[in-house]
Amino acid sequence: MSSPKILINQSVAILCDGNNIERSIHEQSKSTNTMVNFDKLIPKLLNGRGLNRLIYFREGQNISSKLAERLHQQYYGSVVPCHKSADIPLSIKATQLAPKVDTLIIMSGDSDYVELVRHLKSEGVRVEIAAVQQTTAKILIEEADYFHPITGEDWFTYTPQRMERSRYRPPAGVLAVGLT
């Protein structure tokens, strides 16, 4: 007789240092047109656990509205533009979320997060790191409770579409007022 399967209900927050993950993927793929495939990666990271928050931190104002819209629609996620690096805003949000979740997954390989990982663990939060292994600081992997390698299976390469200048042409019989 086998013992019954025990289901553990965990609440998980995923905080992504977008610039770090993007740089790592570009370095490994040798292409700047390569992005995280969140539709593949998020279910893999959660592994049946419940998603509490998904926040994508990115330096600068040049953030794809399509990415923001997709993360919101699929995961109720949000994109947070950062003035400089994502380190401080991500760390602040992680400490704010710590009492509200069982597990925090930090998507970054940056050793700057080692002290944050130590602090969160001291607060009783399980901390997992998801990053491209070749570009992840070994000490960060060692400090984490678990490491999820982000591999080529977790990203995709896109072909940028050229924006063509087109003139609006109203259907036959429609008067176009105010168009030049």
In terms of residues, how long is the chain?
Answer: 180
173 in a domain, yes or no? no
Domain coverage including residue 125: 11-157
What confidence score (pLDDT) does residue 84 get?
Answer: 85
Task: Tokens for 40, please give them.
Answer: 């593949």
In a domain, 165, yes or no: no
Query: What's the half-sphere exposure (Cβ side, CA atoms, 13 Å) at 68?
Result: 11
Domain count within the chain:
1
169 in any annotated domain? no
pLDDT at residue 8 tops 90: no
Identify the pLDDT of residue 45: 97
Q: Check which CATH number belongs to the domain holding 36 and give it.
A: 3.40.50.1010
Domain assignment present for 98: yes
Task: Name residues whose C-beta falls within 8 Å of residue 131's C-beta, 6 or more positions apart in sequence.
Answer: 20, 21, 24, 107, 108, 109, 140, 147, 148, 149, 150
d(CA 32, CA 17): 17
Q: Does 180 reside within a domain? A: no
pLDDT at 119: 98
**Which tens digits make up the pLDDT trace of 19-63?**
999 999 999 999 888 989 999 999 999 999 999 999 999 987 677
Residue 110 CB neighbour total at 10 angstroms:
23
pLDDT tens, residue by residue, 62-117: 777 888 898 999 998 999 998 888 999 999 999 999 999 999 999 999 999 999 99
Q: Is residue 127 part of a domain?
A: yes
Q: CA dist 78 to 23, 75, 120, 131, Å?
A: 20, 9, 22, 19
Output the pLDDT for position 63.
Answer: 72
Domain membership of residue 178 (yes or no) is: no
Q: In angstroms, rounded to a whole number, what is the distance separating the alpha carbons of residues 157 and 178?
A: 41
Q: Does residue 162 fall inside a structural domain?
A: no
